[in-house]
Amino acid sequence: MKNRALISGIVFIIALSCVAAFAPLLSPYDPAAINQDNLLSAPSSAHLLGTDSLGRDLLSRIIYGARISLSVGLVAVGIATLIGLSIGCLAGFYAGFLDMLLMRLVDVMLCFPTFYLILAVTAIAGPSVFNIMLIIGLTSWMGVARLVRAEILSLKEREFIQAATAIGATHFRIILRHLIPNALTPILVNATLGVSAAILIESGLSFLGLGVQPPTASWGNILIESKSTLGVAWWITVFPGLSILITILGFNIFAEGLKKEIG
Amino acid sequence: MIKLSLLVIAFFISLTPALSQDHGDALVSASIADSRTLNPILASDTASSEVAGLIFNGLVKYDKEINLTPDLAESWEIKEGGLAIIFHLKKNVRWHDGYPFSAADVAFTYQKLIDPKVKTPYSGDFERVRSLEVIDDYTLKVVYKEPFVPALSSWGMSILPKHILEGQDLNTSSFSRNPVGTGPFKFKRWRSQEKIELVANPDYFQHRPNLDRYIFRVISDESTIFLELQAQGVDSAGLSPLQYLRQTDTAFFRRYYRKFKLSSFVYTYLAYNLRDEKFTDKRVRQALNYAVDKEELIKMVFLGLGQPITGPFYPESWAYNHNVKPINFDPDKARQLLKEAGWSDADGDGVLEKNGEKFIFTLITNQGNEERLKSAQIIQLRLKDVGVVMKIKVVEWSVFLSEYINKRKFEAVLLGWSLPREPDNYDIWHSSKTREGEFNFIGYRNDEVDRLLTEGRRVFDQARRKACYNRIHEILYDEQPYMFLYAPDSLFVIHSRFQGIKQEPIGIGYNLIDWWVPKKEQRYSRVTE
């Protein structure tokens, strides 16, 4: 197999998942333990990535942060894909008035600047990991819906669908057994890209203080401090920033590889 | 010998006024937020009041020792057992447009303050006035319904020009963006979200300010302000503890800026919703107080630049009771008190419970305040040590006020009060002030405190008032409706070319008109058009 992008993407995702899964074993310190004699100390052998302004070990916090990023990414995309898939299938398969209605709904949803919509909703609903997953999921299904609809529109004219209809298969069976499996490829690529988008949104929200709440560490809320400490403690800005960058890059490379492999 | 030393002193005395204080130059200060309005009776935020304070005067003001002293008033008499104040106004004071100032302006301002149509947050103090009578152009008599001690200080309120504003709707008047006052600086121009420029008032009744201009630059990000300081683009700005201790400890800053550290008039507290069953027992609140180490908070959050407080007054105030000793950090004592109150960890999971319910509560604080967020996380850990789970929720400021504080939908909040010099705390602690939007949002009620608060407003004798407030201080520290945390120091820098700055109990801004810059060090020329 020559698909380097796919392989390196897979390796990266497996590695990140391991870090997230084994966080308690991998992190050298308790991520919430404060230490008043060790505020903002630079990277050293005791604290590989330094400490933050409450003396907490940055490496441990970043390792625990991977859990949040990964779970927010996966769950939010799961929700978005489920909604997008259902709406796309209904619109594509039944066409006509229902299609028109659902696609206008998609248009309306796309009109909102998503990030501000999410900000407003978290302000009212209150910030928590669960709310963030839900809100990101509920505001990012439109791309999937359009994609699925387009696939289904073309698939349902194909002969094997006509054959299925001819032998009397129910609509539900046709959609579930024949249409969705054949539309899966673009959905998968889209979902992978969606994971990195969701991770970015979570980081942004947490950076603004409206995302994951302390003491839970997330890459975004570690970065809150970077605004005021950049001049004296570069490590607080650089390491969480790099974690976000590498993760997004990893998922995007994986998506590229996937596209090449099956597309 | 004695003669000689006398001579030396005389020499210096005669020399001082002769040392010429050059006119000219500008002071550029950085502000995080733009002003909302320059009408002083509508301004409720510091960004607005700070600018308006240089353009307007009240009848009285605080001197450097924090005592009330005449401003637009020449003198005053308190009559009828404290029910009436007679103000004698300064003559020959003129508005910036040349029109003479008189008692009619004061009466006009009072009418506007109590006009329900005017959206001013300052009406409370003036609603206690029974009548205000203009005796002649320079004499006024104000009569109160009942003795009201904060009355005199309330006349520090800026006075508006009647000849300009008569017949106008203050809420919508363009005066708010183009103010005319009696103060040391005149309004020049306002570019929204960019800067407000003031110029010296050559006819100011004390004397012309030495500085030609005062410029407020709006720079909405703290780290950008710091970069501007490094480029000498601003002359004065606030600092964070980290900036104060580490980032400004450089040759550059030592050469070009003077650093200031003043005690501030702000304190931070953790308030419990006393309607919540978990917090109705005083022992629980005392226990939580024992569980949190205030020194640790100050050391970690403010790098030691602040002081612990035990009551609702700032520590330099005469009303502060220094006999109330802060309790020592003592988790064992906390556990014991919680046990007495019926909380115990029966199932051994590290969390206390009572009647099958676990001690878990949520602390709310506002978004964008890094210091409060850090404090919350430290408190969270300390409470966990004694078996209390505190969750933290950060909420955007306007939602915080409208959805949580005003609707009383919270268990505990982390907040701060910015205090006036006058120690009257009636609005915060009196049991009648618990309605929506009022300041006793925790629902505190103590009959003795109610009585003392009323008395503190009615007796003029400072010793008796001190007794009232000291007792209130004692009661509040014992009852712990708030966990009083700390008063952080106010930290800032001013460019070192400014001369004549003196640090006094009130701060440094009181003698702004005497600040000056030697000619050869001036950076901004007069002509700027």
Q: Do B374 and A39 touch (CB under 8 A)?
A: no
Mark yes or no for CB contact B242/A232 under 8 Å.
yes
> Strand pairing partners for B390?
B361
Mean pLDDT of the B148-163 span: 92
For residue B19, what pLDDT is reported? Answer: 54
The reply to whether residue A225 touches residue B377, judged by beta carbons under 8 angstroms, is: no
Let me know: does A79 contact A137? Beta carbons within 8 Å: yes
**Which two structure tokens, joined as six digits, stand for A79?**
């929700």
Distance from CA of B246 to the nearest CA of A (A): 8
Residue B393 pLDDT exceeds 60: yes
What is the structure's pLDDT at B197?
95
**C-alpha dist (Å) from residue B14 to B7, B9, B10, B22, B501:** 11, 9, 6, 18, 21
pLDDT value of residue B66: 83
Enumerate long-range contacts of A230-236, CB under 8 Å, 24 or more apart. Answer: A230/B223, A231/B223, A231/B226, A231/B243, A231/B247, A232/A40, A232/B242, A232/B246, A232/B247, A233/A40, A233/A42, A233/A50, A233/A52, A233/A53, A235/A42, A235/A43, A235/A49, A235/A50, A235/A58, A236/A40, A236/A50, A236/A52, A236/A53, A236/A58
Predicted local confidence at residue B118, as pLDDT: 87
Closest Cβ–Cβ partner in B370, B381, B393 for A213 = B393
Q: Which residue of B has its CA nearest to A55?
A: B300
B74-94 confidence digits (pLDDT tens) = 999 988 888 899 999 999 899
Q: Which residues pair with B215 in a beta bridge?
A: B28, B197
Which of A36, A124, A215 lies nearest to residue B300, judging by beta carbons? A36
Kindly list the residues from chain A whose CB atom is less than 8 angstroms away from the CB atom of residue B409. Answer: none
- A83 CB-side CA count, 13 A: 18
Contacts of residue B30, defined as CB under 8 A and 6 or more positions apart, other chains included, come to: B217, B219, B225, B228, B229, B234, B236, B237, B238
Task: Name the phi and psi angles at B240, rounded to 5.
Answer: -85, 160
> Residues of A148-164 as b/e, b for ≥16 C-beta within 10 angstroms?
bbebbeebbeeeebeeb
Name the residue of chain A whose CA is nearest to B364's CA: A126
Question: What distance in Å separates residue B380's CA from the closest CA in chain A?
Answer: 8
Do B395 and A232 count as a contact with CB atoms less than 8 A apart?
A: no
Residues of B in contact with A123 (CB under 8 A): 395-396, 399
Which amino acid, one-letter code, is at B282? K
CA distance A93 to A222: 46
Q: For residue B140, give the nearest of B181, B168, B101, B100 by alpha carbon.
A: B101
The alpha carbon of residue A228 is apart from the nearest alpha carbon of chain B, in Å, by: 7
Distance, CA of A207 to CA of A65 (rounded, Å): 13
Q: Is A35 an interface residue toward B (CB < 8 Å)?
A: no
Give residue B17's pLDDT band: very low, low, confident or very high (50, 70, 90).
Answer: very low
- Residues of chain B contacting residue A213, judged by C-beta atoms under 8 Å apart: 391-394
Helix (H) or strand (E) holding B139: strand B139-144
The architecture (CATH level 2) of B58-177 comes to: Alpha-Beta Complex (3.90)
- Model-level ipTM above the cut of 0.85: no
Q: How far is A246 from chain B (nearest CA, A)?
A: 26
Cβ-based contacts of B381 with chain A (< 8 Å) = 32-34, 215
pLDDT score, position B10: 37
Question: Buried (b) or exposed (e) across A60-81, using 16+ Cβ within 10 A?
Answer: bbbbbbbbbbbebbbbbbbbbb
Q: Which chain A residues have a beta carbon less than 8 Å from that of B394?
A: 127, 209-210, 213
A114 touches chain B (CB under 8 A): no
Q: How far is B522 from chain A (nearest CA, A)?
A: 30
pLDDT in tens, B287-304: 999 999 999 999 999 999
B contacts of A215 (beta carbons < 8 Å): 377, 380-381, 392
Interface touch A215/B395, C-beta < 8 Å: no
Interval B19-35 mean pLDDT: 85
Give the percent of chain B with pLDDT over 90.
Answer: 62
Alpha helices in B386-529 (DSSP H): 397-399, 426-429, 447-458, 462-479
Q: Which of A29, A227, A229, A230 to mutate to test the interface with B (most CBs of B within 10 A)?
A: A229
Residue among A122, A136, A39 nearest B399 (CA): A122
**Confidence tier at B4 by pLDDT (50, 70, 90):** very low
Q: What gap in Å lies between CA B38 and CA B443, rounded to an integer?
A: 34
Interface with A, mutate which of B300, B303, B402 (most A CBs under 10 A) = B300
As given in the structure block, the two tokens for residue B140 are 């006024």
- Please state, in angstroms and rounded to a whole number, the distance separating the CA atoms of residues B386 and B333: 10
Please indicate whether, in this complex, the C-beta atoms of B247 and A232 are within 8 angstroms of each other: yes
DSSP B406-443: TTT--SEEEEEEEPPSS---HHHH-TT--STTSS-TT-
With contact defined as beta carbons under 8 Å apart, do A36 and A55 qualify? yes
Question: B394 and A53: CB-CB below 8 Å?
Answer: no
> Minimal Cα–Cα distance from A222 to chain B, Å?
12
> pLDDT for B339-363, tens place per residue?
999 999 888 888 999 988 999 999 9
What's this model's pTM, rounded to 2 decimal places? 0.81
Give yes or no for residue B3 having a pLDDT over 60: no
Say if the Cβ atoms of A34 and B246 lie within 8 Å: no
Which whole number is the average pLDDT over B315-328? 90
Distance from CA of B506 to the nearest CA of A (A): 29
Q: Do A228 and B374 touch (CB under 8 A)?
A: no
Q: With an 8 Å Cβ cutoff, is A256 touching chain B?
A: no
Distance from CA of A83 to the nearest CA of B (A): 29
Nearest-Cα distance to chain B for A226, in Å, is 10
Instruction: Region of B214 please: left (phi>0), alpha (psi -120 to 50) or beta.
Output: beta
- Tell me the per-residue pLDDT of B204-244, one tens digit each, with 9 for 90 and over: 999 999 999 999 999 887 788 999 999 999 999 999 898 99
A and B: number of Cβ contacts within 8 A: 73
Q: Say if residues A214 and A127 touch (Cβ distance below 8 Å).
A: no
Rounded to a whole number of angstroms, the distance between the first and last alpha carbons of chain B is 58
Helix (H, G, I), strand (E, B) or coil at A20: helix
User: A4-23+55-262 belongs to which CATH class?
Assistant: mainly alpha
pLDDT at B438: 79
Cα gap A72→A247, rounded to integer Å = 13
Q: Which residue has the higher pLDDT, B472 or B81?
A: B472
Looking at the complex, does the CB of residue A124 fall below 8 Å from at least one CB of chain B?
yes
Question: Any residues with CB less than 8 A from the CB of A109 and at least 6 apart, and which?
Answer: A139, A142
B9 pLDDT band, cuts 50/70/90, is: very low
> Do B31 and B25 form a contact (C-beta atoms < 8 A)?
no
CA closest to B241 among chain A residues: A228
Radius of gyration in angstroms for the set of CA atoms belonging to chain B, rounded to a whole number: 26
**Alpha-carbon gap, residue A68 to A215, rounded angstroms:** 12
Start-to-end C-alpha separation, chain A: 15
| CA distance linking residue B226 with residue B213, whole number of Å | 22
Whether A214 sits inside 8 A of B377 (CB atoms) is: yes
For the CA atoms of A82, A83, A84, A89, what is the dihedral angle to 10 degrees?
90
Domain locations in chain B as residue ranges: 58-177, 266-488
**Does residue B16 surpass a pLDDT of 70?**
no
Provide the 3-class DSSP secondary structure of residue A136.
helix
Nearest alpha carbon to residue A65 among A20, A32, A13, A26: A20
Checking if the pLDDT of B444 tops 90, the result is yes
- Return the residue of B nearest to A124 by Cα: B399
Interatomic CA distance for residues B84 and B140, integer angstroms: 10
- Say what the pLDDT of residue A182 is: 86
Name the token pair of B85. 């104040």
B367, B378, B403 member nearest A210 (Cβ): B367
Whether chain B has a CB inside 8 Å of the CB on A186: the answer is: no
- A184 interfacial to chain B (CB closer than 8 Å): no
pLDDT at B12 over 90: no
Which tens digit of pLDDT belongs to each residue from B55-79?
999 999 998 888 889 999 999 998 8
DSSP, res B313: S
Strand segments (E) across B172-229? 185-191, 195-200, 213-218
Give me the percent of chain B exceeding a pLDDT of 70: 95
| CATH number listed for the domain at residues B266-488 | 3.10.105.10
Measured CB to CB, residues of chain B less than 8 Å from chain A are 221-223, 226, 240, 242-243, 246-247, 296, 299-300, 303, 367-368, 370, 373-374, 376-378, 380-381, 391-396, 399, 403
Q: Output the pLDDT for position B1.
A: 32
- What distance in Å separates the CA atoms of residue B109 and residue B174, rounded to the nearest whole number? 17
Whether B46 has a pLDDT exceeding 90, the answer reads no
Provide the 8-state DSSP code for B481. S
Q: Which chain B residues are closer than 8 Å to A229 by Cβ?
A: 242
- Given a cut of 90, whether residue B332 has pLDDT beyond it is yes
Q: Look at A54 and B226 and tell me if their CB atoms are within 8 Å.
A: no
Residue B505 predicted with pLDDT over 90: no
Alpha-carbon dihedral of residues B353, B358, B359, B360, nearest 10 degrees?
170
Asked if residue B361 lies in contact with residue B278, where contact means CB atoms within 8 angstroms, the answer is yes
The parts of chain A modelled with pLDDT lower than 50 are: none
Question: Per-residue pLDDT averaged across B147-157, rounded?
Answer: 89
Q: What is the pLDDT of residue B509?
A: 86
Query: Which residues in chain B are contacts of A40 at CB distance < 8 A?
Result: 242
**3-state SS assignment for residue B116:** coil
* Domain boundaries of chain A, sorted by first residue: 4-23+55-262
**Cβ–Cβ under 8 Å, residues B104 and B93:** no
Higher-scoring residue by pLDDT: B385, B406: B385
Judging contacts by C-beta atoms under 8 Å, the chain A residues touching residue B223 are: 227-228, 230-231
Q: Do B373 and A224 touch (CB under 8 A)?
A: yes
- Count of CB atoms within 10 A of residue B39's CB? 24
* pLDDT for A261: 82
Q: Tell me, what's the pLDDT at B498?
A: 94
Q: Which of A106, A95, A253, A255 is nearest to A191 (CA)?
A: A255
